[in-house]
Amino acid sequence: MQIKGRLLRNIASALATRGINLAASIVIVPLLLAELGPHGYGVLAIILSATIFFSYADLGLALAVVNVVSSPTESPENIRSTVNRVWWILCAISIATSLIGIAALITLSFWMPALRTHLFAWIVAVASISASIPTGLVQRILFAQQRGLTSGLWNAAARIASAAAVWFAMPLNLPLEYFSFAVLGIPAVVGWLCVIYFFGVNSPALRPGFSIPHPRHWGSDLKAGLSFTVLQLGVYVETGLDNALIGAFYSATVVAHYDLLARLFNYIPALVSIGAFPLWPALRNANLGKAEAQRLMLAAYTTMAGIVIPLVLALILWHDAIIELWTGQPYERSASLATALGLFTLLTCAATIQGMALNSRNLITTQARTQLITLPILLTAKSLALSAAGVSAAPVMTSLTVLGRSVYYSFGLRRR
């Protein structure tokens, strides 16, 4: 009962605080659309979609710390040593990513006029994301310690500050690079404030030392993080590249149309992910028996289905009216795209819960290998489908991939 009570408290606090986070994100969209217009919003959506790739340059190291911090058998000395090593690796990655990314953008701008037109906005996005890479470590430590309320409050503060920055800029007619900073740079600033508070006041025992660990000690951390990197990149390639792919085949206006509907549906798996994530450290740390763990997972799947299915059906039926109410802009109804996104949403929510159980069992490498096999197939299929069957084909291809992997995890691993 104590385990379940703590898990429920973490889920409730995560949903409450991250709900504020999502609410702020929902508010930002109509503000950006009204200020930038459909074309400008589409350009910003492409920038955000493409540059978010740099956030995965952390090589999964922050996530790899979760199983170390949450394990009841790890010594405090080993936890401190791991945190120290990972912190300095992430700082090095942050600097390198920023320099390489900006250099690449400047070089590509000589051959790409569209990139050159909004080069500063691209640079601001890459620099902001790179600067936020080390801050993710503190969020993962809080998550591993099952301190969902603290982590959620910092995330909510970042999103509220971002929304406020966009709102205050509305009457000033500022350029696109400002909004790039408001969406990505402001959360990075709040993230660094969280780092200063956590290591300086809240948990000084975990504060990284001034002596940088020798690179020969980085191997085990990098190896552990590699699998998480593959998983993170897999999620990004499956959905985060959709705007960029659609932009390659269609106009920025079409990207804006797709992005609004996809964003609306994606709020559902985002909420499910918030509620499901506490399952990972709970299953890892609690040493539940097999029967109790199965009951816990069944309850998670049942709760998810009871919440997600009505929401998906409502969005399929009334997505145009909801988006028009949300943005204040006319929106052309697309039943086929809404149905495809609804299918993807339901499958993704189920796969998210399944992933928490796999993570708690340290089956990270298995998931990473499966991603490596399926991603090239998905990218090829999605590109062909977009050119031949229209925008709705993108979420359909992703849904089939998610379903295939879930079936393999459920039955293929069991047979092995």
pLDDT tens-digit series, residues 341-398: 999 999 999 998 888 888 777 777 788 788 888 888 888 888 888 877 788 888 888 8
This prediction's pTM: 0.63
What percentage of the chain reaches a pLDDT higher than 70? 81
Instruction: Find out whether 216 and 163 touch, Cβ atoms under 8 Å.
Output: no
CA dist 246 and 253 (Å) reads 10
Structure tokens at 37: 């217009």
Helix (H, G, I), strand (E, B) or coil at 72: coil
Instruction: Find out whether 17 and 153 touch, Cβ atoms under 8 Å.
Output: yes
CA dist 200 and 119 (Å) reads 37
CA dist 356 and 133 (Å) reads 23
pLDDT tens-digit series, residues 125-134: 889 988 988 8
400 CB-contact burial (10 Å; exposed 0-12 / middle 13-18 / buried 19+): middle
Q: Which residue has the tokens 């590699």?
A: 226
CA dist 227 and 63 (Å) reads 10
**Higher-scoring residue by pLDDT: 224, 175:** 175
- Residue 315 has a pLDDT of 92
pLDDT band at 1 (very low <50, low <70, confident <90, very high): very low
> How does the average pLDDT of the chain come out, rounded?
79
Instruction: Find out whether 119 and 177 touch, Cβ atoms under 8 Å.
Output: no
Provide the strand spans (E) within 190-296: none
Weakest mean pLDDT among 93-97, 226-230, 255-259? 226-230
214 CB-contact burial (10 Å; exposed 0-12 / middle 13-18 / buried 19+): exposed
- Residue 345 has a pLDDT of 93
Q: How far is CA 190 from CA 28, 46, 146, in A?
A: 17, 24, 21
pLDDT band at 172 (very low <50, low <70, confident <90, very high): confident
CA dist 39 and 33 (Å) reads 9
Average the pLDDT over 177-196 and give the result.
89
pLDDT tens-digit series, residues 326-353: 877 888 888 889 999 999 999 999 998 8
Structure tokens at 191: 């993230």
- What angle (nearest 5°) sits at the alpha carbon of residue 181, between those of residues 158 and 18? 20
